[in-house]
Structure 1
């Protein structure tokens, strides 16, 4: 009897094991089918300027943070050194990490390093913000895309506003360093001022870099001593020095890249109140959309070219915040609205540095020199 019971138990175990191995089982330790999506993330490196500049670095970082939240992205932020001689090593270090994408700014020579490195890393897609139209060496590269916000358009608007707000007929612009993109800012600003007043005088100065606020402040004060009573600050982090000079001298300031007045509201209202507007460039949205487009369909992008985002397609605008509404008279705001609409509809074409010879550009600057 005991032997019969043992035999029955043994047979039961055999049938039980056989059942566990049949085709109806669902093993939990086996890997999923190769046909199922793997939800792999793409690796993106953002090489940006010093954060806290309230300029292109901060604006682009907003887009970077958004892509980390909303897109299948594994991201890394690398701060670009202030010394241009270190740009090459910084870029090559990033390339050696084998990312899928790198985006950065043209930034006073960085574009040259990207164009030099890109052919050696064909598997990496590069985007360069603030790339000049007609950038030498870009055409034919199938892994580099330049992006340009139409700073000539938004600066035309700020130049017009500056001259309308001026009591002296003299306005200024302080850039960090002048290179083609900054020359396009200057071109737009001068032509906007001339559109408002054919006898406009415009002081044009470079403070030396995009970091030194003290140097920018002294540069702006020199323009103010010449009689300029509206100053356009186009110097990233150094712009805070330009705007401080405006506050101390009791003249108007205009910011750039982000809403600079918003940085001071409730913190330094006297400073905020003198910043009548800012030339806003939506780098956050542009960088986010680039990464999204590359993920979805990289072949749809026109590599080796420069994409331009202007007033018409939302790439840039002037800030119309509570300070603007308070400080700018209604009749000037009405003129600005008409001007913006004319630019948006293409009825008014804003001259660009990229359509001029160097001699024509120098003649333009000399024609409005402050006397």
Structure 2
């Protein structure tokens, strides 16, 4: 099929497009990674329902695939839909236009658009799509041309909780979540399990912002927890995380970052905040999508399945940067390494909150309150 420009909702939306076509690396004699037909460079589309700048999975996905383009010489386009305010008709149009292009592989964050994929993907059997940070329902839908990928946030949160308990002087920790949702509950419960593993007597305060963007309220809740004795905070608070970080810096307590390497990203712009982030619990989205693209190019990727990546698969973990080395004592770092190994081997099984009821979640929170 002759390739055309992606022209989605032209004239009505301000859509950000970043086109990257890079060369170099050892990807064959030409230095260019070939598509599966061996005739043209691999062409990859990253379709983001929304925008970059979330300092989380969308940024990480784009970054990992742009790195793949730099290393292999393939073509990667990152397409941001902008704010479509949940307009499914517009989102469907976006996906259809993308599917009619001749991309070899398409990545998308499908959390808010999976119903559209269930509806239209069967109409495009030649499309190969990877939905990141979401689980598609393969049992109820015909999706032989798709893969979905999630990350075991409960496992990296377990390590974060264990580290927080080891570093706490008050014996009280704090979790500030953005929403009452299964994923945020999974962050919280993993953290609680890890904290109790390291210190059975630890206490954990829990607060919910009620929004994924309200940094001011997140800061207020964090300060309230600090005043109650919490000296290490954990904020799966989406864009509200900056409020928690500001509170931590103002009050002189540690904050463990979430989703991406918060300390390194703030090193230049806000060094005083970076200094109170001993580590971050991260989903290795960039690296995992890079590896999946490698497997696809080699013809070794099986579609029609869901992948759930944890510590064993190097899908999640704690960042070990300069702040980790400086702020976390050597014996605590050794303890975290040992604990991670036990999770990877199966000796420690971290329970998930993804399928728990509201009553069960509240019982967990209540059991660890000071």
SS state of the match for residue 213, structure 2?
coil
Aligned mates of 1:84, 1:204 — CA distance in 2: 30
1:111 has 2:130 as partner:
no
Deviation of 1:352 after TM superposition, in Å, equals 1.4
Cα distance per residue 1:286-339 (max 9 Å; x no partner): 2223333334437x4141x32122112211111122212222223322322221
Aligned mates of 2:95, 2:77 — CA distance in 1: 9
- Could you tell me whether the CA contact under 8 Å between 1:149 and 1:309 is conserved in 2? yes
1:293 has 2:272 as partner:
no
How many residue pairs get aligned? The number is: 331
The aligned residue for residue 196 of structure 1 is 198
Gaps of 5+ in 1: 1-35
Quickly say closer, same or farther: Cα 1:309–1:207, change in 2 above 3 A.
same
- Could you tell me whether the CA contact under 8 Å between 1:282 and 1:315 is conserved in 2? yes
The aligned residue for residue 47 of structure 1 is 48
The aligned residue for residue 246 of structure 1 is 248
The aligned residue for residue 16 of structure 2 is none
TM-score (structure 2 length as normaliser):
0.79
- Could you tell me whether the CA contact under 8 Å between 2:154 and 2:190 is conserved in 1? yes
Gaps of 5+ in 2: 1-36
The aligned residue for residue 213 of structure 2 is 211
- Could you tell me whether the CA contact under 8 Å between 2:48 and 2:58 is conserved in 1? no
- The aligned runs of 1:36-185 (5 Å cut-off) are 38-39=39-40, 41-47=42-48, 49-70=50-71, 73-81=74-82, 85-86=86-87, 89-97=90-98, 98-99=100-101, 100=103, 101-107=105-111, 109-132=112-135, 135=137, 140-185=142-187
SS state of the match for residue 350, structure 1?
coil
The aligned residue for residue 333 of structure 2 is 333
RMSD in angstroms over aligned alpha carbons?
Answer: 2.8
Divergent runs of 4+, >6 A: none
Aligned mates of 1:77, 1:87 — CA distance in 2: 20
TM-score (structure 1 length as normaliser):
0.79
Aligned mates of 1:88, 1:367 — CA distance in 2: 45
1:367 has 2:370 as partner:
no
| Greater helix content | 1
1:235 has 2:237 as partner:
yes
Aligned mates of 1:144, 1:361 — CA distance in 2: 32
Deviation of 1:106 after TM superposition, in Å, equals 4.2
